Chains A and B, each alone.
Chain A
Amino acid sequence: AQKITQTQPGMFVQEKEAVTLDCTYDTSDPSYGLFWYKQPSSGEMIFLIYQGSYDQQNATEGRYSLNFQKARKSANLVISASQLGDSAMYFCAMREVSSGGYQKVTFGTGTKLQVIP
């Protein structure tokens, strides 16, 4: 069963505008963590932001914020004031405990963001 769902294969945004990338997840574990990673064409995975399942407030990291709606099981990434360098693939990921008791991080299918000058 799909654990992390990103329904937007591709998105366009005008430079300096804000954009929201969608992510929904499925887990029965009350303790989990949600991450967003950026992967430019060069291939490296860059950590952007983290949200814990028990966190009371939405996470923010500079221009990145996470719109966490626990009841709806969604963790959307908001990028404010888009820059050309934001063009990349964005992955939502979830950390949870595997059946063997060890933690796993599972990635969604990704959203390719293109920033238009």
Chain B
Amino acid sequence: DTEVTQTPKHLVMGMTNKKSLKCEQHMGHRAMYWYKQKAKKPPELMFVYSYEKLSINESVPSRFSPECPNSSLLNLHLHALQPEDSALYLCASSRGTGTVRATNEKLFFGSGTQLSVL
């Protein structure tokens, strides 16, 4: 199984809603990532988890709250989002942790959640 599964594929929410994005992988990867991608832009790193611990937070607003319940799951909890948060949210995983200088570890991406905030 070489897949990263993201649910839901599409999400429309109001600014007062609370919702969660889910990501799952069963490749035994110990690093998981959230990226945000606006239309016609490159993915921008939001968070990195290594061994279920948050290792990188790229100054993301607190209305985005990541959670890594176990080594296979990664959630992104959304609350009080703004219309400018509408984007494609991509989850990815890689084999090792950041402290290993294995620069050939490629990211495996999910197909993303297209989020629209009204």
Chain A residues within 8 Å of B, Cβ to Cβ: 31-33, 35, 37, 42-47, 50, 52-53, 91, 95-98, 100-110
A113 to chain B, nearest CB (A): 14
Question: Are the CB atoms of B56 and A98 closer together than 8 Å?
Answer: yes
Question: Are the CB atoms of B50 and A102 closer together than 8 Å?
Answer: yes
CB proximity to A under 8 Å, residues B68-116: 88, 90, 92, 97-101, 103-112, 114
Chain B residues within 8 Å of A, Cβ to Cβ: 31, 33, 40-45, 48, 50, 55-56, 88, 90, 92, 97-101, 103-112, 114
Say whether, besides A31-B101, A43-B88, A110-B42, A102 and B106 are in contact (CB < 8 Å).
Answer: no
B21 to chain A, nearest CB (A): 14
Question: Are the CB atoms of B42 and A44 closer together than 8 Å?
Answer: no
A34 to chain B, nearest CB (A): 9
CA distance A63 to B102 in the complex (A): 25
Which single member of A37, A97, A102, A106 contacts B48 (CB below 8 Å)? A102
Say whether, besides A53-B103, A104-B45, A109-B41, A47 and B108 are in contact (CB < 8 Å).
Answer: yes
Question: Are the CB atoms of A47 and B106 closer together than 8 Å?
Answer: yes
Question: Are the CB atoms of A97 and B88 closer together than 8 Å?
Answer: no
